[in-house]
């Protein structure tokens, strides 16, 4: 198996992304606005709480977490569901299926270029800005390599979930509602919009056993606390690894079974 | 060498929900289990030899695309057997993909935002084309059509004709054994059509690529195909040389005459004289479709000359278009 045929798709994705210069600007402005909203929202929450520490997190803890979560979201969001749905509706999926490459891999690698561009254009600048502005809230040690591994596993889980939802579109032939539902569930239960520390106790432990927290909560926790508490960081990553395997198996099996739906009933 | 595509008694059925009308009907459809079976392809058999260009014709909705999708492996036949290159396509889709190229007229497989050359490079890596083969192919393309301007143009800025041309080039790039072209000349101008025909012919000749072509343009058929297969309502109507086609409904010729009087009135009179023949008229000519097995064109002309003052005449071979039209409209009896 040659890695070259996959990397060429990554390369194409990077070139493709670079064709649209203005979209970067718009995205950066959009992110800034979102971060401003988050800042004032949580400021108001902390002001009304009357204490400095809510759910074990100070205001600046929360803000650092959420800023990084937003950056991570921009970096990892793949819009796979839209892509699969659109391809099904337009019939382009037929052409993609006729590439000498398995569709699930083809789609992933077609997207991988956006990881690279988004990493350098949104995540890295945000990360640097946060670490400078907070004067060392992020430690630079073993947590960084762990974070990289953790993010890679998070991407894999996120892609598998997207792909499963995208596969559902084969049956429903509609995208919008399903995608919105997926997005809300993932963003809420993964800790991307509200840190998991804020959730009430029974829900918190339930979330620990769901795959979603492995997408945002796990890598962020590894990054922010992995330096001081390696043991729990490794436990989170072990959990991630389990979900990587489970979600990949489900998405592959579900896709194989559903492909019959296309080949039997027409694309 | 043995045949490259073998299709034996292949049928394809689709299950379609019976939709009802209106808002109430749509609401009821949500819970409906009322399916009907649509037979898109019905017991088709054919074999295709390497290097052939086969015109696969039929009216809209005849089942052409379904057959092509089965040959490419995207669809699984409901019954029957298909072998492409000795393999069952839907079971070996990814493997099969290496051996085939596909162009669907209205869709592009190219990278929308990128210049054409980038798409070619991506395809080169995906199909793992060796450098030398790739360069030879590009050189060969350059000898057939003028692609220097196209190579560095982003696909989204191309005209429809340029894009289709590019898509065809992309489909042939990995030198596949078979290329499926589904309505490649749809919506193109005359000169682009000619260019694309030259290209397909050239590639077929030089690379011995088998080409399966569906089209509604009889110009394509006349220019490219030696053999045509016609289907309608999923059933095969015709599979033979293009020469045989013309004799398919008897040996028809069209006799065209011009008279000094009003053409419409005259044509009605002629129709009255030859009740078996089909007489039509336009602004310039009265056309009489003559079946030479029954009556000679010259005999008809002789009879006409006695009663009408004919100022000009022409005899035309029946065109492929006319025959196909007759087959589509009349079916086979």
Boundary residue ending a domain (B214, B231, B246):
B246
CA pseudo-torsion sign A171, A174, A177, A179: positive
Which of B246, B280, B313 is the endpoint of a domain? B246
Q: What angle do CA B98, B68, B87 make, to 5 degrees?
A: 45
Tokens 């436990």, residue? Answer: A235
Q: Within this chain, do residues B191 and B263 fall inside the same structural domain, yes or no?
A: no
Residues of B in contact with A2 (CB under 8 A): 128
Return the residue of A nearest to B11 by Cα: A264
Of A206, A217, A106, nearest in space to A151 by CA: A217
Is residue B201 domain-shared with residue B131, that is, in the same domain? yes
Q: Domain with B266 in it: what CATH number?
A: 3.30.70.260
**Chain B, nearest residue to A94 by Cα:** B74
pTM (2 d.p.): 0.82
The pLDDT value given to residue B246 = 67
For residues B173 and B93, membership in a common domain is answered with: yes
Which token pair is B163? 């894009």
Same domain for B260 and B196, yes or no, is no
**ipTM, interface predicted TM-score of the complex:** 0.83
Got the DSSP string for A38-63? HHHHHHHHHHHH-SSEETTEEHHHHH
Supply the pLDDT for residue A267: 45
Q: Are residues B147 and B290 in the same domain?
A: no
Count of structural domains within chain B:
2
The verdict on B141 and B68 lying in the same domain is yes
DSSP string of B313-325, one letter each residue: EEEEEPPHHHHHH
Residues B99-152: pLDDT tens digits? 999 998 778 899 988 999 999 999 999 999 999 999 999 999 999 888 888 999
As a whole number of angstroms, the distance between CA A168 and CA A163 comes to 9
> Which residue range is the domain that position B14 belongs to?
5-246
Facing residue for B126 by CB, picked from A101, A263, A264: A101
Where along chain A do its domains lie? 4-265
Domain boundary pick from B216, B246, B276: B246
Closest-CA distance of chain B to residue A105, Å: 12
Phi-psi region of B45 (alpha: psi -120 to 50; beta: other; left: phi over 0): beta
- Helices A103-118, A4-18: axis angle to 10 degrees equals 50
* Helix-, strand-, coil-residue percentages of chain A, each rounded to 5: 80, 0, 20
- B98 inside 8 A of chain A by CB: yes
Asked if the Cβ–Cβ distance from B111 to A262 is below 8 Å, we say no
Contact call for A8 and B126, based on CB within 8 A:
yes
In a shared domain, residues B234 and B277: no
For A7, nearest residue in chain B (alpha carbons):
B125
Q: Measuring CA to CA, which residue among A101, A94, A82, A250 is closest to residue A166?
A: A82
Tracing tokens 């086609």 back to the chain, one arrives at: B245
**Tens of pLDDT, residues A152-203:** 999 999 999 999 999 988 887 778 888 899 999 999 999 888 898 888 888 8
| Residue A243: Cβ within 10 Å count | 23
Same domain, yes or no: B294 and B235? no
Pairing of strands A57-58, B278-281: unpaired
Do B239 and B260 fall within a single domain?
Answer: no
Pick the closest to residue B288 from B328, B257, B266 (CA basis): B257
Pair B147, B170: CB distance under 8 Å? no
Q: Which chain A residue shows the shortest CA-CA distance from B13?
A: A265
Say whether A263 and B74 touch across the interface (CB within 8 A).
yes
A14 touches chain B (CB under 8 A): no
> Are B178 and B278 found together in one domain?
no
**Residues B213 and B256 placed together within one structural domain of the fold:** no
Taking a C-beta distance cutoff of 8 angstroms, is the pair A146, A233 a contact?
Answer: yes
Asked if residue B234 and residue B172 are part of one domain, the reply reads yes
Taking 70 as the threshold, does the pLDDT of residue A210 lie above it?
yes
């Amino acid at each position: 198996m040659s890695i070259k045929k996959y990397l060429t798709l990554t390369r194409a994705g990077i070139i493709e992304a670079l064709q649209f210069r203005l979209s970067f600007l718009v995205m950066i402005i959009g992110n800034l606005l979102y971060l401003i909203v988050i800042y004032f929202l949580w400021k108001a929450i902390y002001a009304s709480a009357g204490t400095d520490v809510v759910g074990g997190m100070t205001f600046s803890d929360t803000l650092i977490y959420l800023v990084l979560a937003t950056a991570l979201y921009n970096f990892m969001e793949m819009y796979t569901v839209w892509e699969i749905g659109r391809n099904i509706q337009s019939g382009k999926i037929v052409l993609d299926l006729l590439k000498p490459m398995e569709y699930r891999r083809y789609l992933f690698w077609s997207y991988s270029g956006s990881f690279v561009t988004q990493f350098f254009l949104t995540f890295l600048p945000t990360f640097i800005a946060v670490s400078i502005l907070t004067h060392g809230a992020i430690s630079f040690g073993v947590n960084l390599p762990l974070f990289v591994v953790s993010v890679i596993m998070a991407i894999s889980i996120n892609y598998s979930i997207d792909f499963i939802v995208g596969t559902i579109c084969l049956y429903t032939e509609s995208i919008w509602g399903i995608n919105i539902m997926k997005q809300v569930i993932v963003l809420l239960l993964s800790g991307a919009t509200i840190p998991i520390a804020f959730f009430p106790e029974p829900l918190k432990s339930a979330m620990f056993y769901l795959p979603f927290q492995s997408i945002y909560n796990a890598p962020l926790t590894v990054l922010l606390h992995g330096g001081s508490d390696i043991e729990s960081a490794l436990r989170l990553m072990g959990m991630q690894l389990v979900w990587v395997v489970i979600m990949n198996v489900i998405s592959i099996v579900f896709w194989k079974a559903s492909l019959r739906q296309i080949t039997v009933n027409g694309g | 060498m043995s045949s490259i595509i073998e299709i034996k008694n292949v049928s394809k059925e689709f299950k379609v929900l019976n939709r009802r009308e209106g808002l109430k009907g749509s609401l009821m459809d949500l819970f409906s289990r009322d399916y009907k079976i649509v037979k898109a392809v019905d017991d088709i058999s054919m074999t295709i030899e390497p290097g052939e260009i086969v015109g696969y014709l039929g009216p809209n909705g005849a089942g052409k695309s379904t057959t092509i999708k089965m040959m490419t492996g995207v669809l699984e036949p409901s019954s029957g057997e298909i072998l492409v290159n000795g393999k069952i396509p839907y079971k070996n889709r990814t493997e099969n993909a290496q051996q085939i190229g596909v162009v669907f007229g209205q869709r592009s497989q190219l990278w929308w935002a990128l210049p054409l050359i980038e798409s070619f490079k991506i395809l080169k890596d995906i199909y793992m084309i060796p450098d030398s083969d790739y360069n030879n192919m590009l050189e060969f393309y350059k000898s057939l059509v003028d692609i220097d301007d196209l190579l560095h143009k982003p696909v989204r800025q191309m005209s429809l004709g340029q894009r289709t041309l590019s898509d065809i080039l992309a489909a042939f790039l990995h030198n596949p054994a078979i290329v499926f072209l589904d309505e490649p000349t749809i919506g193109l101008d005359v000169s682009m059509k000619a260019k694309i025909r030259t290209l397909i012919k050239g590639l077929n000749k030089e690379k011995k690529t088998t080409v399966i072509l569906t089209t509604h343009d009889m110009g394509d058929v006349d220019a490219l195909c030696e053999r045509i297969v016609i289907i309608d309502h999923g059933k095969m109507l015709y599979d033979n040389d293009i020469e045989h086609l013309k004799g398919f409904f008897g040996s028809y010729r069209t006799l065209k005459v011009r008279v000094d009087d009003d053409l419409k009135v005259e044509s009605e009179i002629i129709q009255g004289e030859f009740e078996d023949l089909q007489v039509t008229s336009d602004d310039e000519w009265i056309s009489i479709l003559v079946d030479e097995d029954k009556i000679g064109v010259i005999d008809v002309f002789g009879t006409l000359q006695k009663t009408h003052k004919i100022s000009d005449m022409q005899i035309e071979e029946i065109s492929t278009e006319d025959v196909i039209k007759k087959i589509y409209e009349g079916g086979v009896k």
